[in-house]
């Protein structure tokens, strides 16, 4: 029975789709004062920043900068943590960071796709 017959090909395709979907999901964090909101994805990329106009009522650039950085850190950590556990369960790959998991799973999918290509060439 070939790789494509056993369903591993479909599993590899599903893993690729899942990795892409999870990597693009947004996680939002809001500062403690509610004036800064950051959106991030599990790869660590910040994809959104909102600053409430109320920051102008009491201008303090240092406090605002600290609030933005802290909220960015929380958004990235939240996005990574939220999605890492589900991906570890689905993939069976042990990893302590999203980047590590993404690399391992991508390598696994690439290897499976190469096997499928080899089998299809032989048929």
Query: What is 12-117's CATH superfamily?
Result: Nucleoid-associated protein YbaB-like domain (3.30.1310.10)
Ordered by start, the domain boundaries in the chain are 12-117
Of 39, 31, 28, 27, the closest CA to residue 68 belongs to 31
Q: 4-26 pLDDT, tens per residue? A: 456 666 766 776 777 677 767 88
Q: 88-121 pLDDT, tens per residue? A: 766 676 767 767 777 777 777 777 778 777 777 7
pTM exceeds cut of 0.85:
no
Give the torsion sign (CA, 61, 62, 66, 72).
positive
């Amino acid at each position: 029975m070939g790789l494509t017959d056993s369903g591993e090909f479909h599993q590899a395709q599903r893993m690729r789709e899942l990795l892409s979907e999870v990597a693009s999901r947004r996680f939002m964090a809001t500062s403690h004062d509610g004036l800064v909101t950051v959106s991030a994805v599990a790869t660590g990329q910040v994809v959104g920043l909102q600053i409430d106009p109320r920051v102008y009522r009491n201008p303090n650039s240092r406090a605002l900068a600290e609030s933005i950085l802290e909220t960015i850190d929380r958004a990235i950590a939240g996005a990574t943590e939220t999605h890492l556990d589900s991906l570890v369960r689905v993939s069976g790959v042990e990893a302590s960071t999203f980047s590590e998991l993404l690399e391992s799973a991508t390598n696994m999918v690439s290897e499976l796709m190469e096997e499928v290509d080899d089998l299809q060439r032989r048929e």
